[in-house]
């Protein structure tokens, strides 16, 4: 396998690619409070897009809108080529979602969890069977396929949860703090899985509190009080805010 030949420059490649998420003037109001105050951005196909911000900056609200869980107050939002106002069901079919809190059923086995989620997305039994095999192979978890999820270490659960979130080959996967509390090596394994998914054309939309992880993203948006205050490659942001690392960038924006 030789990606290198055509993956010479990830960034320029992405620039030429189609937009998978397009958000224009997105507003979400709760009473008089602007949780999302005129957000405008787009995410390219296959991009790893970091969505950062302080607690309460409006990240969760925006993710809920993008994943079709709530309606915007106003603005245009297209996800995976569908309008979130009119085609919510199609949006949902084409995205995957994983969060730190909700991942898998603790009292089902690894295999049962996979089967269940495959079933939700209406995949054929044959597909589920084959994909489960290759997935367990990739995760090196064949031996534990009949173990209850609850008995596994957190890092393993999170890896399985991610694999399950992309099981139906979604166009976009939303990851809400996927690596919280996970040990550093597993965290890196996890990011390698993210890279791999992105390489296979899945767009990754990720939030994190680990600032070093922001550097792994192709582009990063930083929100503060409902607005996007910075959106660029990590390098671009560091340059603009005259900072050595993303931690400093974040502090300059959010403080």
Residue 2 or residue 242: which is nearer to another protein going by CB? Answer: 2
Q: What is the torsional sign of CA 206, 211, 213, 219?
A: positive
- Cross-sheet strand order for the sheet of 48-53: 95-99, 172-176, 203-207, 48-53, 219-224, 227-232
Structure-block tokens of residue 69: 């869980």
Residue 135 or residue 217: which is nearer to another protein going by CB? Answer: 217
In the region spanning residues 134 to 153, those forming contacts with another protein, defined by CB under 8 A, are: 153
* Residue 254 engages another protein in binding (rule: CB under 8 A): yes
> What is the C-alpha separation between 163 and 159, in angstroms, rounded?
6
Residue 40 or residue 199: which is nearer to another protein going by CB? Answer: 199
Structure-block tokens of residue 159: 């890896």
* Residue 195 engages another protein in binding (rule: CB under 8 A): yes
* Residue 19 engages another protein in binding (rule: CB under 8 A): no
> What is the C-alpha separation between 86 and 242, in angstroms, rounded?
43
- Which residues does 124 contact at the CB level (< 8 Å), separation at least 6? none
* Residue 54 engages another protein in binding (rule: CB under 8 A): yes
* Residue 180 engages another protein in binding (rule: CB under 8 A): yes
Q: Name the 3-class secondary structure at 56.
A: coil
For another protein, which residue of 18, 183, 239, 240 counts as binding (CB under 8 A)? 183
Query: 26 — phi, psi (to 5°)?
Result: -70, 125
For another protein, which residue of 181, 201, 239, 240 counts as binding (CB under 8 A)? 181
Q: Give the number of other CB atoms < 10 A from CB of residue 186.
A: 16
Residue 153 or residue 201: which is nearer to another protein going by CB? Answer: 153
Residue found under tokens 């602007």: 34
* Residue 107 engages another protein in binding (rule: CB under 8 A): no
Residue 53 or residue 118: which is nearer to another protein going by CB? Answer: 53
Structure-block tokens of residue 231: 């959106």
Q: How far is the CB of 139 from another protein (least distance, A)?
A: 17
Residue 117 or residue 191: which is nearer to another protein going by CB? Answer: 191
| Residues near another protein, by CB under 8 A | 2-5, 7-11, 53-57, 100, 153-155, 177, 180-186, 188, 191-192, 195-196, 198-199, 209-212, 215-216, 234-235, 245-247, 250-251, 254-255
């Amino acid at each position: 396998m030789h990606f290198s030949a055509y993956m010479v420059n990830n960034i320029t490649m992405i620039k030429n690619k189609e937009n998978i998420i397009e958000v224009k003037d997105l507003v979400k109001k709760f009473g008089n409070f602007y949780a999302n105050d005129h957000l405008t951005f787009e995410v390219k196909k296959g991009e790893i897009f970091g969505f950062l911000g302080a607690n309460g900056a409006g990240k969760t609200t925006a993710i809920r809108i993008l994943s079709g869980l709530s309606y915007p107050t106003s603005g245009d939002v297209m996800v995976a080529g569908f309008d979130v106002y009119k085609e919510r069901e199609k949006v949902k079919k084409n995205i995957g979602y994983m969060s730190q809190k909700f991942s898998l059923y603790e009292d089902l086995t690894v295999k049962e969890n996979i089967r269940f989620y495959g079933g939700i997305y209406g995949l054929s039994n044959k597909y589920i069977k084959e994909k489960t095999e290759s997935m367990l192979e990739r995760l090196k978890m064949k031996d534990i396929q009949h173990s209850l999820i609850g008995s596994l270490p957190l890092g393993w659960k999170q890896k399985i949860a991610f694999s399950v979130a992309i099981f139906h080959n979604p166009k976009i996967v939303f990851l809400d703090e996927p690596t919280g509390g996970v040990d550093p090596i597993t965290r890196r394994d996890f990011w390698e899985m993210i890279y791999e998914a992105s390489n296979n054309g899945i767009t990754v939309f990720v939030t994190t509190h680990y600032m070093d992880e922001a550097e792994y993203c192709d582009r990063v948006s930083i929100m503060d009080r409902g607005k996007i205050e910075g959106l660029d490659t990590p390098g671009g942001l560091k340059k603009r805010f005259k900072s050595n690392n993303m931690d400093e960038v974040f502090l300059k924006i959010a403080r």
